[in-house]
Amino acid sequence: MKNPYFVYVGNAYPHKNLKRAAEASPITLAIASSRNVFTKRLEALGGNLNFLGFVPDKKLKEMYKNSVAFVYPSLYEGFGLPGLEAMAAGTLVLASDIPVFKEVYQENALYFDPNSVDSIKQTMEKVLQMNSKERRKLISRGQKFVRRYSWAKMAKETLQVYNGAL
């Protein structure tokens, strides 16, 4: 994509709150999600939406990195892996101020009220107006932070839990 864009990666279920993000976005919101009835409903909104369908991992990393920011407007989640992927790829994360995101991302995301189109829009506009020095600082901090998570560490800790239960 040539023009500046925000990106969302994941399914388009209603609790993902993409309708509000679409209404709030002052520029293109690129959505990487398999096509289904939920993406069709969003497509009917028109506006600044660009539906990409499935994006392979190699291109996904580029898409994250080249975006203005990853937007995660969910009303509820179990964890929030795509936000960590976005940080690792080198982009900012804009996320709902729900407890799980605040626990997982800590001070490494910019938060908004997911029930308010105005709050989402203000956060998006803040990022669009951010100077490059501040932007690089936040991205660097996120990339350092995300190193604390790894599949190997998770597997080891999960195995310890299973062994403790036996």
- pLDDT tens column, 38-64: 999 999 988 899 999 999 988 999 999
Task: Specify the pLDDT at position 81.
Answer: 94
- pLDDT tens column, 122-160: 999 999 999 999 999 999 999 999 999 877 777 777 788
Domain ranges of the chain: 5-165
Range 100-108, long-range pairs (CB < 8 A, 24+ positions): 100/76, 101/72, 101/74, 101/77, 104/79, 104/80, 105/80, 105/145, 106/145, 108/138, 108/141, 108/142, 108/145, 108/146
- pLDDT tens column, 95-126: 999 999 999 999 999 999 999 999 999 999 99
pTM for the model stands at 0.91
- pLDDT tens column, 24-41: 999 999 999 999 999 999
Contact 124, 102 (CB under 8 A): no
What CATH number does the domain located at 5-165 have?
Answer: 3.40.50.2000
Task: Specify the pLDDT at position 165.
Answer: 84
Q: Encoding tokens for residue 151?
A: 């599949």
Rounded CA separation 58/37 (Å): 27
